[in-house]
Amino acid sequence: MSSRVAYIAANTFREAVRDRVLYNLIAFALLMAGASVLVAQISIDIERNVVVNLGLTSVSLFGLIIAIFIGIGLVSKEIDKRTLYTILSRPVRRWEFILGKFGGLMATLVVNTFLMALGLFAALLYQAHHFQRADAYLLVALYFIVLQFMVITALALLFSSFSSPLLAAVFTFALFIIGTFSEDLRNFAALAHGVTRWAATGVAYVVPNFSALNVISLVAHDQAVAGSLVLYNSLYSLLYAATVIAGAMLIFEHRNLK
């Protein structure tokens, strides 16, 4: 089983790496990190803040685009090219196919994040001529960004397992937007009454809490991230992604592919 999942994951990684759009996004993200250095030149006493904010935002934004627009095509592309039938004709189960696709795209996103992080740290080195202790906090922010990608990839696979690529993209992006403002949604639920309060509370706890995974502003101001938050976000993201992937496996297992 593990060898079949690993093979599908490796093949997915190779296909994603060969995608020209992927290279364009990485190049643009690195250019954004470089542009942050230029913007910092016209800032007064906030050069590092500008570099960190623009750099991490670029990593998050373009990684999100990769996760959604490659993730939604992982299933539909195989169906359209009819290669899925060849894969499933072998001793490969449907849930292994989904798990392998998830692992391959996550490997791609981790490698891309690493490359873009190198560009960010190079921009910081150029700006300050040396690294400082607060730069280590960026590693936590980057780790949280990867956790975001894990949840987004799982959601993209879930929606692509039963809908068209367009609808899957819309659903995934909509959940990302709602999840980004999940804290505001919880605050609204606390102020609401009756059915509105129950509905807002339910939505707030069902959608992924991306707001807790965004610590860009915190690390940009040289503030450390609490260890309890790292543990909470790790467990939360792993559990949420595992639940969503399990749902994608279940749906795809019963999907009529004819």
pLDDT in tens, 191-200: 777 777 788 7
| Average pLDDT of every residue of the chain | 82
At residue 181, the 3 state secondary structure works out as coil
pLDDT at 35: 65
Please, which residues have CB within 8 angstroms of residue 29's CB and are 6 or more apart in sequence? 58, 59, 61, 62, 63, 116, 119
Q: CA angle 95-19-11, nearest 5°?
A: 35
Residue 23 has pLDDT above 90, yes or no: no
Q: Total domain count for the chain?
A: 1
For residue 143, give its domain range: 2-253
Domain membership of residue 130 (yes or no) is yes
pLDDT tens digits, 92-118: 788 888 899 999 999 989 988 888 888
Domain membership of residue 191 (yes or no) is yes
Domain membership of residue 92 (yes or no) is yes
Residue 246 has pLDDT above 90, yes or no: yes
Q: Across residues 130-141, what is the average pLDDT?
A: 85
Amino acid residing at 120 = L
Domain membership of residue 258 (yes or no) is no
Domain membership of residue 42 (yes or no) is yes
* Whole-Å CA distances, 187 to 6, 161, 174, 203, 216: 43, 33, 20, 12, 22
Please, which residues have CB within 8 angstroms of residue 84's CB and are 6 or more apart in sequence? 75, 78, 97, 257
Domain membership of residue 14 (yes or no) is yes
Please, which residues have CB within 8 angstroms of residue 245's CB and are 6 or more apart in sequence? 98, 99, 102, 154, 157, 158
Domain membership of residue 79 (yes or no) is yes
Confidence tier at 142 by pLDDT (50, 70, 90): very high
0.85 cut: is pTM over it? yes
